[in-house]
Structure 1
């Protein structure tokens, strides 16, 4: 129980620090993070069409729009998380979104990222699901992180469960503002550090 309490306190503190950043500072830091992510794109294996999974920022998260558009510009297949009902809980899948759809700002699971959805064949046809094994790079939002690469999310465990399904060669990168770094992220046995975190 104490671990959960420690995580809750750390989460609240990190979110307060993130929210306290001015819009100008958040934008400038987001641009620096995006610049580093664009460099990662150039290092991806020379596949016919790399698949990149990322998120669309909500609230005060790191904004990835510059990186997202760069990925489209390089011909990547771009996917975003979509929450779905699964039994008594929910699960995360990644759905492909075309650049035209992204720019239209009408993608339902981008506009409402935490809303879980029922199975929907129309949604499947418009935004096909990407298998975790097909992802070459996944960019993960963070609430807090430490120097050892330990990540603290929002508490639902959705990314933890999804990351366990990607193939060993997939590049996993967490992104956060420097203000979100803490001395130590409380961890539990099922928690695993990220191989790389980009912050600014």
Structure 2
């Protein structure tokens, strides 16, 4: 779905949407800058805490397909946890942008599989079968108390969730400093089912 459209095909107010879009762009830049300012060793410690939180939320991953992401611009690096999913009998997948303004696809991935550069030069599986995930782990730029996610502005995430044949468990991950009062959700926005964040260790 394009910004300004609801799931039912009803236009959101274009003037209001323009104001929200400008605000989101500025807030996105602020939050990404703040995330990048966190020292790498602190982000690594928080990623361990987030992985523990994901285990608590998901439970046994055996037989489940979990879509993660390749870390980008200070996002929590969950690649060690992704490897542990496979060790515990699950399957891992990575999202792939096939075409602008279209849903993502998910490709099966195991550490060591050949990667190629995708959108924004983020590595994606060069091969790998398309899968339908049972769980989708999505990095946050920002998140509000209603679990609405502020992303990078491409609309891929909401479009993908709307197109999947079955709804996965969707968990947003990030740092506590990314929690904000509202993202001013629009009709096309889809909230996360759960949120897992971590604070910097004291």
Q: TM-score, normalised by structure 1?
A: 0.80
Higher deviation after alignment, 147-156 or 164-173: 164-173
Q: Which residue of 2 aligns with 1:19?
A: 36
Q: Is the 8 A contact 2:97 2:118 kept in 1?
A: no
Three-state SS of the structure 1 residue aligned to 2:171 is: strand
Higher deviation after alignment, 180-189 or 145-154: 180-189
Three-state SS of the structure 1 residue aligned to 2:112 is: helix
Q: 1:95 aligns with which of 100, 103, 107?
A: 107
Q: Which residue of 1 aligns with 2:116?
A: 108
Q: Is the 8 A contact 2:161 2:167 kept in 1?
A: no
- Which whole-Å deviations, capped at 9, do the CAs of 1:128-147 have from their partners, x for residues lacking one? 111xxx32111011111112
Change in 2 beyond 3 A, CA 1:192/1:179: same
Q: Distance in 1 between matches of 2:120 and 2:23?
A: 29
1:154-173 alignment runs, 5 A limit: 154-166=152-164, 170-173=168-171
1:1-200 alignment runs, 5 A limit: 1-43=18-60, 49-85=63-99, 89-101=101-113, 106-109=114-117, 114=122, 126-130=127-131, 134-166=132-164, 170-200=168-198
Q: Is the 8 A contact 1:135 1:166 kept in 2?
A: no
> Larger % of helix: which?
1
Change in 2 beyond 3 A, CA 1:57/1:125: closer
Q: Distance in 2 between matches of 1:162 and 1:169?
A: 10
Q: Is the 8 A contact 1:6 1:186 kept in 2?
A: no
Q: Distance in 2 between matches of 1:23 and 1:191?
A: 31
Three-state SS of the structure 2 residue aligned to 1:161 is: helix
Q: Distance in 2 between matches of 1:26 and 1:125?
A: 28
- Backbone CA RMSD of aligned residues: 2.6
Q: Distance in 1 between matches of 2:86 and 2:192?
A: 25
Q: Is the 8 A contact 2:135 2:169 kept in 1?
A: yes
Change in 2 beyond 3 A, CA 1:23/1:128: same
Unpaired segments ≥5 residues, structure 1: 117-123
Deviation, structure 1 residue 14: 1.1
Give the aligned length: 181
